[in-house]
């Protein structure tokens, strides 16, 4: 009887630790599904924050880098190129359809100053804090403001942070605190288990 119980316990432990495998299309849908915790949307007044955490496999799927990959060794080599950083896309939108970064500008000079800020200095107001540790602001090591036309005037920022050992072991908060935005300080919480227990992408 004890042996049977031991076997059942081992099977339960194995199932809880094993990763579901998804094909690239289903994996992308899983990552982008808000209910799975890697995609956060917060609305403060008219301003909408859309934050997408981008796992390595998600990046490989979206960029098409997995096309033509025929071996696990090659896939692991591609993964290694991204594993040292944590990648996010931050999208700012206005529920009214206005431009979220220049909606309060009443002159060309103010509008140009706002655009300059978001292109070069906004990254200083975005940072990660590791939960339950000394409050240290981890600022982006990569930052890119995508200056492209979108139907709803959304502004898109590509951001990456060093993926330290501490970040791999603790819950994280991505924090945006910009004086140019009327919403004040906004926090997005990411449970460490989400990074560990997410499904794997299979070819």
Residue 54: exposure state from Cβ atoms within 10 A (0-12, 13-18, ≥19): buried
pLDDT digits 0-9 by tens, 103-162: 666 778 888 888 899 999 999 999 999 998 878 899 999 999 997 767 778 999 999 999
Distance from C-alpha of 149 to C-alpha of 60, rounded to nearest angstrom:
24
Cα diameter, the chain: 80
Check residue 150 and report its DSSP letter. -
Q: Which domains does the chain possess?
A: 19-201 (2.60.40)
Distance from C-alpha of 134 to C-alpha of 202, rounded to nearest angstrom:
38
Closest by alpha carbon to 177, among 94, 55, 90, 115?
A: 90
Query: 56-63 and 24-32 helices cross at what angle (nearest 10)?
Result: 120
pLDDT digits 0-9 by tens, 79-116: 899 999 999 999 999 998 888 887 666 778 888 888 89
Q: What percent of the chain has pLDDT over 90?
A: 51
Question: Can you tell me which residue has the tokens 């997995």?
Answer: 66
pLDDT at 40 over 70: yes
């Amino acid at each position: 009887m004890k042996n049977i119980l031991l076997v059942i316990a081992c099977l339960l432990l194995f199932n809880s630790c094993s990763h579901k495998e998804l094909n690239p299309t289903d994996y992308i849908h899983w990552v982008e599904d808000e209910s799975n915790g890697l995609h956060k949307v917060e609305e403060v007044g008219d301003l909408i924050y859309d934050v997408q955490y981008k796992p390595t496999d998600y990046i490989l799927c979206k960029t098409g880098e997995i096309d033509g990959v025929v071996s696990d060794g090659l896939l692991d080599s591609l993964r290694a190129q991204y594993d040292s950083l944590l990648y996010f896309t931050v999208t700012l939108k206005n529920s009214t359809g206005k431009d979220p970064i220049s909606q309060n500008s009443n002159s060309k000079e103010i509008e140009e100053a706002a655009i300059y800020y978001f292109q070069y200095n906004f990254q200083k107001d975005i940072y990660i804090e590791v939960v339950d540790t000394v409050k240290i602001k981890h600022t982006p090591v990569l930052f890119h403001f995508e200056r492209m036309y979108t139907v709803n005037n959304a502004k898109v920022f590509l951001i990456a942070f060093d993926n330290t050992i501490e970040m791999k072991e603790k819950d994280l908060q991505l924090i945006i605190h910009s004086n140019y935005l009327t919403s004040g300080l906004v926090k997005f919480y990411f449970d460490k288990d989400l990074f560990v227990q997410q499904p794997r992408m299979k070819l």
